[in-house]
Chain A
Amino acid sequence: MRPAASSAVVVENLVKRYGGVAAVAGASFEVDAGEVFALLGPNGAGKTTTLEILEGFRRADGGRARVLGYDPANRSTARELRERIGVVLQELAVEPYLTVRQVLSRNASYYPNPRGVDDVLDIIGLAEKADSRVKTLSGGQMRRLDLGLGIVGNPELLFLDEPTTGFDPSARRDAWEVVRALSGGGSTVILTTHYMDEAEALAGRVAVIANGRIVAEGAPRSLGGREVGEATIRFRLPGEGSPAGGAGSAGGAGSAARVTLPAGLEAGAGRLDDGTVEIRTADAVSVLRSLTNWAHDEGVELHGLTVERMTLEDIYLRLTGYGSDGKMEGEA
């Protein structure tokens, strides 16, 4: 009997305590079928514990979890559930004396509708190492085999715990392609990661977990008010500590070409060490308009003019790094 599932994963007020300490303290979120969902958070925030509860490896102390409609803690349906999910965890070894192909074939036999072993070898790029023993694989190849073992059962839902930690940049791109291909094939993917660019590149939605609770959730580009929050405008004025080739002569105090901002802009401006002017504002359009009108009228060049939103990393650090729980929730 297979329960009907509209969402791939539903988590409500999940609680898990170790000793007296709550590793997960009332986390709630939902993941739709077909979605790529990233769980971000510092070490010890509760990401891995949450994942392990969903995988049925740990039992929650409170709250409710449903995975593909199953209760992951229910031992009588554990086999059915595990036939439909794939799990890629960190630092789990594979028997060193078997070949890559033998390991994949063996694990494929655990599932009712496995992916073809050659297919998996192609996807993870280990076709040439198929008949090598596992113990001869490099660290990166081993991680790819991990990924292969996660997808060999043709899972509807794939859990990836920090899938590219330790990868070099090109290997990361390859792994991302695998995740995109799986997602394109209709699989749901839940991943944890430390890399903001990874979350941004892969996930349709991210949730930030801190102290066992979800403190923010949304699309990467709008997380934590990123779309509407303040922007930073940066530029350099002629004669103001400009780099080589700038207008200033080698002379002493107060070079001839020195330009000053109008008072209205100067009030909100700060200076970086290299003389770059930085204006933080919630109303970038108005500030830019005054700035460029002024520069145009006065014939002043604005060297290196940029406008930046907060990066996902800025948001993440703000959500996880500072303040009490209450403050973080207020911001989120």
Chain B
Amino acid sequence: MNRVRKGDAGLVARQLYYEQLLFWKNPFRAVFTIGFSVIFLLLLAGSVGNSRSSLLGGLREVQYYVPGFAAYGVMSACFNTLAISLVVRRETGVLKRLRLSPLPTWVMVASTFLSSLVVSLLEVIVLLLVGRLAFSVTLPANFLAFVVAIVVGAVCFTAMGIAASTVIPNEEAAGPIVSIVFFVLLFLSGLWYALTPSSVLAKVAGYFPVRPMILATFAPFDRLPGTSPWAWHDIAVMAIWGAAGVVVSVRRFAWEPHRSG
């Protein structure tokens, strides 16, 4: 590995700036990532948001949808968008060019992660504002637990996003593969409708990282007395998936197009 130098923090900051430029200057990416979660929230909350759910202990559905779509926003920014853009960058040769420059790999990874985190946080703030202003949803009662869930989730799904990019053969396949995996998991994980916690589906989904992300984001909101705002079990599941993502990424990451190799 290349040693860290004085001034590398500035390099990360500059690289983060250009990553952000890239994100916001690509209108499709920006709209797709940020807009989708807001539209989903508005549609669902606007239709069934005010009905009270016994699964949520009598809370209004919208109180579940706001953290649910905040979780969705983090996952889509860190996993979907990142995995697809990494495959495109690899297949078009952008990564190879980067590899031949002196930019250290860790600076690239750090700035990519921070960029996904910035987008995630923005999305979360937008969703909280929409929830608060349009649907009078209460804000997280335990803000620290909420931030920890978001950050652990961002790390986990960034690692998973990089790992996913290494098994996707080319850019044409990237969108479909990522979307299928992601949306199937979202359905199984009860984003659109709360699952009965004791059901087989909920138990199975609990082994994958998506449901834990939704639950860990939901827990810090003001819920029933006697429930903890810290969903430690879910946070641990995400951490394990994140570690697996790191292992796969380190072992399989490729800088040059798969089609040329």
How many whole Å from B16's CB to the nearest CB in chain A? 11
Interface residue stretch chosen among A5-13, A27-35, A75-83, A186-194: A75-83
**Interface bin, chain A:** 20 to 34
Instruction: Map CB proximity to A onto B91-106 as digits: 1 under 8 Å, 0 otherwise.
Output: 0111011011111100
**Interface presence of A110 (CB below 8 A):** yes
A102 to B26, CA, bound (A): 15
Q: Hey, which chain B residues are within 8 Å of A91, CB to CB?
A: 93
Docked-complex contact B25 and A97, CB < 8 angstroms: yes
How many whole Å from B213's CB to the nearest CB in chain A? 29
**Interface presence of A141 (CB below 8 A):** no
A63 to B93, CA, bound (A): 28
Interface centre among B3, B89, B96, B255 (most CB of A within 10 A): B96
A75 to B106, CA, bound (A): 13
Instruction: Map CB proximity to A onto B1-38 as digits: 1 under 8 Å, 0 otherwise.
Output: 11100000001001100100110011000000000000
Interface size on B, residues (CB 8 A): 25
Query: In the complex, which residues 92-138 of chain A have their Cβ closer than 8 Å to any Cβ of chain B?
Result: 92-95, 97-98, 102, 106-107, 109-111, 133
Q: Chain A residue with minimal CB distance to B107?
A: A110
Query: In the complex, which residues 135-158 of chain A have their Cβ closer than 8 Å to any Cβ of chain B?
Result: 149, 153
**Interface presence of A208 (CB below 8 A):** no
Instruction: Map CB proximity to B onto A62-89 as digits: 1 under 8 Å, 0 otherwise.
Output: 0000000000000110111011000101
Known: A78-B2, A79-B2. A109 touches B99 (CB 8 A): no
Interface centre among B3, B22, B92, B102 (most CB of A within 10 A): B102
Instruction: Map CB proximity to B onto A41-71 as digits: 1 under 8 Å, 0 otherwise.
Output: 0000000000000011100000000000000
Q: Chain A residue with minimal CB distance to B26?
A: A97
Known: A82-B100, A87-B100, A110-B101. A93 touches B14 (CB 8 A): no
Docked-complex contact B102 and A111, CB < 8 angstroms: yes
Q: Hey, which chain A residues are within 8 Å of B3, CB to CB?
A: 76, 79
Total number of residue pairs linking A and B with CB closer than 8 Å: 67
Q: Hey, which chain B residues are within 8 Å of A76, CB to CB?
A: 1-3
Q: Chain B residue with minimal CB distance to A87?
A: B100
A20 to B111, CA, bound (A): 40
Interface centre among B18, B89, B93, B101 (most CB of A within 10 A): B101
A76 to B3, CA, bound (A): 7
How many whole Å from A117's CB to the nearest CB in chain B? 14
Q: Hey, which chain A residues are within 8 Å of B102, CB to CB?
A: 79-80, 82-83, 110-111, 153
Known: A82-B102, A91-B93, A149-B97. A102 touches B2 (CB 8 A): no
A107 to B26, CA, bound (A): 20
Q: List 10 A-B contacts (CB under 8 A).
A: A56-B100, A79-B102, A87-B100, A89-B97, A89-B100, A93-B97, A97-B21, A97-B22, A106-B15, A109-B14
Chain A residues proximal to chain B, CB less than 8 Å: 55-57, 75-76, 78-80, 82-83, 87, 89, 91-95, 97-98, 102, 106-107, 109-111, 133, 149, 153
